[in-house]
Amino acid sequence: MTAAALDAAHDGLRAAGIDFVSGLPDGWQRPLHERVEADPDIRYVPVCNEGVGFSICAGAWLGGRKPALIMENSGLRVASEYIARISLGTGVPVTLLCSYRGDVGETEHWGIPHGIVAEPLLGALRIKYLVVRHVEDLAKSIVRAKRISEAQLHPAAVLVSGDCVWED
């Protein structure tokens, strides 16, 4: 992600009151993982798959924390089993911040399947989401996603793409 997007994403997480982050770094959001890990106000828990990260975030919410899961959109597929079990079954909110690989502008062939699956999968899981392609929208989108996740007691997502990752 660009330097401006990195700042905006971190600002958005802080403004949203996120104090617990789990995730698996990907190429686009790796700098954000590093930024969050260094933030003394956020507990950062790295995982080796996004499903485990979702479960950990859900457990942290039950203990009073405000969690976010940061991952590539491919991780949505991995996490979907636990999102369905935990959030569709019991109503636990976690903010999801996903790189939108496979969005228009993608340069890598392997990212295409991630782009094909992401939005239909979010729909199947009844997860409201915002696609952010302009840096100036990123921070407030994270705040709004977290806000509705708390209101509906279900995850909400931000898909990050466009100017947040490419300078063309």
Name the residues that contact other proteins, by CB under 8 A: 20, 22, 43, 45-49, 51-52, 54-65, 67, 81-82, 85-86, 89-92, 150, 153
Q: Which is nearer to other proteins, 31 or 59 (CB)?
A: 59
Could you tell me what percentage of the chain is helix, strand and coil, using 3-state DSSP and rounding each to the nearest 5?
Answer: 50, 15, 30
Quote the least distance from Cβ 11 to other proteins, whole Å.
Answer: 23
Quote the least distance from Cβ 99 to other proteins, whole Å.
Answer: 20
Nearest to 167 by CA among 32, 70, 72, 28: 28
Q: Which is nearer to other proteins, 22 or 161 (CB)?
A: 22
For the sheet with 128-132, list strands across it.
Answer: 43-46, 20-23, 67-72, 95-99, 156-160, 128-132
Quote the least distance from Cβ 20 to other proteins, whole Å.
Answer: 7
Q: Which is nearer to other proteins, 51 or 111 (CB)?
A: 51
Q: Which is nearer to other proteins, 72 or 137 (CB)?
A: 72
Quote the least distance from Cβ 112 to other proteins, whole Å.
Answer: 26
Give CA angle at 130 (168, 5), nearest 5°: 40
Q: CA 35, 39, 42, 45 torsion: positive or negative?
A: positive
* CB of 110 closer than 8 Å to CB of 65: no
Quote the least distance from Cβ 155 to other proteins, whole Å.
Answer: 14
Q: Which is nearer to other proteins, 50 or 103 (CB)?
A: 50
